[in-house]
A and B are shown apart, each in its own frame.
Chain A
Amino acid sequence: MGTQVKDVVIKPEAPNTLLLDKHADYIAAYGSKKDDYEYTLSEYLRMSGIYWGLTVMDLMGQLSRMNREEIIEFIKSCQHDCGGISASTGHDPHLLYTLSAVQILSLYDSINVIDVDKVVDYVKGLQQEDGSFAGDKWGEIDTRFSFCAVATLALLGKLDVINMDKAVGFVLSCMNFDGGFGCRPGSESHAGQIYCCTGFLSITGQLHKVNADLLGWWLCERQLPSGGLNGRPEKLPDVCYSWWVLASLKIIGRIHWIDKAKLRSFILACQDEETGGFADRPGDMVSSLWNCHIQFCICIYILHVISLGLAILYTELIILCGTFLPVLYISIQVDPFHTLFGVAGLSLLGDEQIKPVNPVFCMPEDVLQRIGLQPDLLN
């Protein structure tokens, strides 16, 4: 009996140098073949796809290879009467794509091609009674949208239009026993949500409300023996968590708690040397080695231990029997999403071939300096 420790094994032949030129070529060509299957099926997130592509090109100093005029016209065609912006023409507006659009226009210093006041009204109108934000008029609530709202308004210099106290109160109500954050109050901690919430608290000047030591520990425990990071306990590593987890650690001042060299190796191994771009994890056939190293893992979660005035102790003891065994997997496909987060992760790790990236906005630091936005980070 046992639970596998989910992880990947990096082959010795995996890429170990950064192939920036190949990635730039990959992104520059992406979407030019408009009859591409993947491309068409991902139309529902096109605005974010463009943001990912442009940001990674800018980080690599290759932004000029993208079609600025075409993109700006596209964004203009996506702003609806309500002020919100959609992922693509004919699609409905949503906070996610409103943020992506504002980020793109910030990169291009062309924010005024859209009706900014209407965007602000749209965002403001999505705040609910309890301080949370809906993604659109259909009412889905998620802390991701709290982040989208304040990030959008911060980039537009209009944070003052929302009820800040309530917005903060809602996000804090999503904090869990482990110091992390979930989608809604009571939701399990997840690295993506943690990125959104720590980013939110940074923008709103409330980082002191985070338990940095507790959250930092949870985050550094995302690092697996392969060096890669997962998004929550007992999940497989994924290069996009090199961003969500790493940026969160940077925001709360604990980035030194992960093994940077091992993470870098993992990220580099996710590159595709043939096509350029990054996949979610390293590829190539690996025969499964039944390396049964049975290890009795004792995991004790001290839940709510010794809090002031608690009558009953929530100490619970579980014994986890773990068998360590590498997972069989095969080559994985690259995409712009994982390419951005691989490169951005490497930037946060200090790679000097890449421009410094801002951990809150996932945009080049020089763009934010130009705008005059320097959100707080914890030491």
Chain B
Amino acid sequence: MHGRVKVKSTAQQEEEKRKEREKKLKAFVSARDAVLRKRSAGEHDEEALQLTQQLLSSNPDFATLWNYRREVLLQLETSREKDEVQKLYESELHFIEACLKVNPKSYGCWHHRSWVNTRLPQPDWTRELGLCDRCLSLDERNFHCWDYRRVVVKESGVSVEQELQFTDRLIGSNFSNYSSWHYRSTLLPQLHPQPAPDSASNTSPSPTASPQIHSHRIFNCLCQLCDLPPGSVSDISNEHNLTVHWTEKYTHRDCALYTGEHRDQLLVCVCGRSELSVEKSSVLQAELQSCNQLLELEPQNKWCLLTIILLMRALDPLGHEKETLAHFQTLKEVDPMRSSYYSDLCSKFLIENTILKMEYAEVRVFSLSNKNLTTLCHLDQLLLVTHINLSSNQLLRLPPQFAMLQCLEVLEADDNAIESLEGLYHLPKLEEVSLRNNQICKLSDLESLASCTKLTRLDLRGNPVHKTANIDSELSQLLPLVTALSL
């Protein structure tokens, strides 16, 4: 189905081609019918092997034929001695190799080969590894072959170091070898195992999975805001917070109890924050230097730009903020197809920096205005925020995660492009919302606000919704508690 060609030709050539195809088709149909007839008759003999061989050589995706072949082979096994079985399956391997030459990407061929190795009294893993080498030398990106190689390596006990050397050779002769790089990503952790992921961080459970990009790990925090019955916290001490810090190797942990305004809430937060070790730091620093040198040679190179941004974040996110913003601007110019990605990534980093600049979790008033934000994230870090300013950005929506801001009293989000207020839902302390100059178009866009029972001030000036018929009365019906409404 892929890469097939329609070549325009003369009427005569068309007719010749048509006759040729008709002949081929007839041959195929009669062979196919013969095979299926034999199978229905329960015949598991040499002729079955011959017929299926004919068909499979040029139709290796005809899976049922491989199944039939396996049934025949299993049947023949029962009447043969061990060394004959060995020969039987070795010749099967020859046949499969011939099929693979014609179609090196057939799932059926590769699976059948794996199956044959489970039946062989004495599999020859060295030969199988050789087959993989040959196959990969023809096409280094053949994932069927790579997957088969992984099985061979496992069965034959080839060492991780040897396989790493193999990838070294391949990459050395041709850089364009994503498959080899990928393989390395699975080999290296076997040589240098990671300690088990801790429960407080969000690393994925798989040993081959990627730990998050550095800048994310600072924000691996579990936070929970709990309501307490009144009078739970005694007035003995004047302290508003109780924090316990401890360190495990390179990881710092905090567990902080914060009291709310009326001493009726506690924020329990378990946060893991890792410091870069000196070794890591210096390696990254060296990488950053190299990349900057390369950038001088190739100022428009997007891979270089993006990598520099990531390295800078790993080393010193706040210190490099200005440079980072400049690089993002260049990125959007040299790689415009992905400018939405770069805008969202830049937004995420700016939000992270703003969080870093403030003393963690003491924040009550949080400003993200005028930062070209296209997306919101890390809202789970803002559980104690009472005032938030999102004005003058490029936000399209207040996402569902916004509803985590349970302490929020005032929201300013003027001069964006907000159409959806999904996240303004069940915010029990929210009193004032300003959404001037956005894209709220329909009354239904405002429905979630009805669940914010303390909301009294709402500014909707400069939104298309004001054109809706009877908007004043509709709104006072939807939001009866709002006393100060600006349209």
Binding site for B on A (CB under 8 A): 3, 35, 37, 40-45, 86, 90-92, 94, 136, 138-140, 142, 169, 172-179, 182-190, 209, 211, 213-214, 216-217, 220-221, 223, 225, 227, 232-235, 238, 254, 256-259, 262, 279-280, 283, 295-321, 330-333, 335, 337-338, 379
Contacts and interface: CB of A to CB of B under 8 A. Distances in A.
Contacts of B301: 295-298
Contacts of A182: 143, 147
B146 interface: yes
Interface in B110-168: 111, 115, 141, 143, 146-147, 150
Contact of A92 (B2, B5, B64): B64
Looking at B63, B284, B338, which has the most chain A CB atoms within 10 Å of its CB? B63
A211 B216 CA distance: 11
A300 B303 contact: yes
A247 B194 CA distance: 34
B439 to A, nearest CB: 16
A233 B175 CA distance: 12
A173 B147 contact: no
A211 B204 contact: yes
Nearest to B338: A220
A61 to B, nearest CB: 26
Contact of B67 (A138, A176, A184, A211): A138
A3 B176 contact: yes
A179 B62 CA distance: 33
Contact of A298 (B59, B272, B291): B291
A331 B8 contact: yes
A225 B115 CA distance: 42
A211 B212 contact: yes
Given A40-B28, A175-B209, A257-B340, A308 B251 contact: yes
Given A305-B211, A314-B185, 4 more contacts: A220-B338, A302-B307, A318-B175, A319-B294
Given A176-B182, A176-B208, A331 B280 contact: no
B282 to A, nearest CB: 10
Contacts of B28: 40-41
Given A214-B210, A259-B336, A308 B203 contact: yes
Q: How large is the interface on B (under 10, 10 to 19, 20 to 34, 35 or more residues)?
A: 35 or more
Interface of B: 1-8, 21-22, 24-25, 28-29, 36, 40, 59, 61-64, 66-67, 70, 107, 111, 115, 141, 143, 146-147, 150, 171, 174-176, 178-179, 181-186, 188-189, 192, 194-195, 197-198, 201, 203-206, 208-214, 217, 249-251, 272, 274, 276, 279-280, 283-284, 287, 290-291, 294, 297-298, 301, 303-304, 307, 310-311, 314, 336-338, 340-341, 344-345, 348, 399-400
A330 B7 CA distance: 7
Secondary structure at chain A's binding surface: helix, strand, loop or mixed? loop
A253 to B, nearest CB: 9
Given A221-B338, A379-B399, A209 B204 contact: yes
Contacts of A301: 181
B62 A44 contact: yes
Looking at B274, B311, B340, which has the most chain A CB atoms within 10 Å of its CB? B340
